[in-house]
Structure 1
Amino acid sequence: MRVYAIADLHLAFCTPKPMTVFGPQWAGHPQAIFDEWRAAVRDEDLVLLPGDLSWAMRLPEAMQDLAPVAALPGTKVLLRGNHDYWWPTAAKLRAALPEGMLAVVNDAVRVGNVVVCGSRGWITPGFDALGADDQRLLDREAERLSLSVQAARTLRQPGDHLILMLHYPPATPPYPANPITRVIDDARPDLIVYGHLHGVAPERAMRHVNGVPAHLVAADGLKFRPRLLLDTGA
């Protein structure tokens, strides 16, 4: 089983939102994603989708965006992004997701010999401190991430790979420690994936958190091709 990741699909089949306002590279991006996905991913593979999947405002509309993704090869694991306004409770989401689509919501999932945990994350302090509201939201996301890590520890078997998903980057230049990175330090995953940043080449983004490899997988930075993270050999 190979593990891929791609974030920020920004699909909008029901609520048209032209992504070309963010640059010409977004022209026809859904078809580009689907074509690149089919060229790379096999049915037995795992694809991580760390947020900003659909511009929909309600679950039924989002399901129309997710349906063509569900039809693509591989098992998919979803995480909420800051623009996934349609995201409902965990129970409603899991009842609606088609076979082969899983979601991480304050918990973790195990697919083959890979355990996936994560949370959306939030803005982190960089050169400037956060305001009170942003600090509160960051602390809440760190608590959710901690719950997810605890669930992952329960699921993880000897030899399993642990992958931690975030939507927001784990830290902000000059990369001081923050509540999210402290949870990562405790969890010690094998690798981290995150999205959210557009117009940033992956090689210029944050590439590790205290020695743990970190991968920016926003779709435009990947030229809309899911990024191969690892081959588990399973």
Structure 2
Amino acid sequence: MALYAIADLHLASSGEKPMDIFGEKWSNHHEKIKDNWLGKITEEDTVLIAGDISWSMKMEHGIEDLEYINKLPGKKFFVRGNHDYWWTSINKLNSMFEGMKFIQNNFFTYGDYAVCGSRGWILKNNPKFNEHDQKIYDRELIRLKLSLDTAVKAGYEKIMVMIHYPPIVPNQLDNEFTQLFEEYGVEKVIYGHLHGWGLANVFEGEHNGVEYILTSCDYIHFNPIKIME
């Protein structure tokens, strides 16, 4: 049994957005993911998927992408990404597939770890950050805290977090998100969202006792990375 992670699958079974418009490396990327996944992941493993799962705007199309993932081996945990407009109520999502679970104000478990999370949002040092962003930023902080509180109340001491937006960047190592991680003793934070020029903002490694791991699909060469045994 092992824990893997990957983010930004950007599936498009409906044909709404072929990813090769972003470069040749994205050509047939869903098949690259599938081949790499089948080469290492078993039914006993768990995979964390940190958002931007499907380009679909509505669940009637997004279901095709979810079924594609469901057919791959292993249990899967998800958080929402900024492009996951198909994402419906959390109760509905968590009733759809036995082996796929969705995190929003709740948590799931891997061994003796609680896996918590939220979508997150752009950080305040972003020059485009505005009043609208502040409202979403505050809401995502609340959702993350609810997820963490629920895990702690259930008796979990070992915690990891999945979040879509990078919660830490080289020029802003400390903010409300990192403070929450440190306050709750989070060991690992798995995130995505960064591609292309955005990779200049990558922070990986340890900061104040928390390990940060970027798992954007193209960054890890469409190959799920092992987080722990």
TM-score, normalising length: structure 2: 0.92
Instruction: Name the counterpart of 2:55.
Output: 55
Q: Which runs of 5+ in 1 are unaligned?
A: none
Matches within 5 A, 1:1-234: 1-96=1-96, 98-126=97-125, 128=127, 130-157=129-156, 161-199=158-196, 205-207=202-204, 208-231=206-229
Question: Structure 1 residue runs of 4+, over 6 Å off?
Answer: 200-204
Q: Which runs of 5+ in 2 are unaligned?
A: none
Would you say how many aligned residue pairs link Structure 1 and Structure 2? Answer: 228
Q: 1:155 to 1:205 in 2, by over 3 A?
A: same
CA distance in 2, matches of 1:143, 1:131: 19
Report the identity percentage. Answer: 39
Q: State the Cα RMSD in Å.
A: 2.0
Contact 2:190 2:212 in 1 (8 A): yes
Contact 1:139 1:179 in 2 (8 A): no
CA distance in 2, matches of 1:38, 1:124: 35
Contact 1:10 1:53 in 2 (8 A): yes
Provide the secondary structure at the position in 1 that maps to 2:108: strand
CA distance in 2, matches of 1:204, 1:179: 18
CA distance in 2, matches of 1:63, 1:182: 36
Q: 1:199 to 1:12 in 2, by over 3 A?
A: same
